[in-house]
Amino acid sequence: MRIDVAFVPVIDGAAVDARMVADLSSEEQDALRRLGVPADRDRAATARVTARRKLGRRMGIHPRHVPRITPLAPWGKPYVDNASIGVSWSHSGRWVALAIADRGPVGVDIEQQPFRVPLRALAMLDLASMEDFVAREAAGKVTGQGLAGTWPAGVTVRSLSAPAGYLAAVAAPDGELSIDVC
């Protein structure tokens, strides 16, 4: 499976930039407005607009014409209606990670390395490190189960070289992965 991964800096003001939000559906624009903190709106807008633009290029269509990107559940993995292309994104701090797979589900996670590692919280999830957390988050996005339950079976995870001060991983169903970080 071929997976393209991109690290994109969060664009300040993305959620109110008319040129950016023009690429989003009205439902996506409404969802952005409901987010309470401007920085969260900018992270979400950067992620969704980047996903639509990259998917549009891959599919040979304008970003507004990319079929609806729908999460399967409130915390579930997004998918592109009527397409076999897998898509996942994550944002933390000043960065967005985006993964697009040529076929099937994909999961990606990026986390800003904390000043102090939350060891108790990690232990409650049966994880030993932030690297484990990022890998588990990416794997959980492939199955749609997130961090719930045990480690998902049948998922391959690869660590990524993330921007300085961040950790990242990408995951897909077991098999050979060809990852291109652009």
For the record, the structure tokens of 52 come out as 């639509």
Residue 134 pLDDT exceeds 90: yes
Q: Which long-range CB contacts under 8 A does 53-62 form with residues at least 24 apart? A: 53/23, 54/4, 54/6, 54/98, 54/100, 55/80, 55/85, 55/87, 55/100, 58/85, 58/100, 59/83, 59/85
pLDDT over 90 at 97, yes or no: yes
Mean pLDDT score of the chain = 89
Task: Please give the residue that has the higher pLDDT: either 71 or 58.
Answer: 58
Plot region of 134 (φ>0 → left; ψ -120 to 50 → alpha; else → beta): alpha
- Please state, in angstroms and rounded to a whole number, the distance separating the CA atoms of residues 47 and 15: 10
Does the domain at 2-181 match CATH 3.90.470.20? Answer given as yes
pLDDT in tens, 43-69: 999 999 999 999 999 889 999 888 876
What residue segments make up the domains of the chain, in order of their start?
Answer: 2-181
Going by pLDDT thresholds of 50, 70 and 90, the confidence category of residue 144 is confident
pLDDT at 182: 82
Residue 94 pLDDT level (bands cut at 50, 70, 90): very high
Average pLDDT score over residue span 158-174: 96
pLDDT of residue 79: 65
- Spatial distance between the Cα atoms of 34 and 42, rounded to a whole number of angstroms: 12
Q: How confident is the model at residue 18 (pLDDT cuts 50, 70, 90)?
A: very high
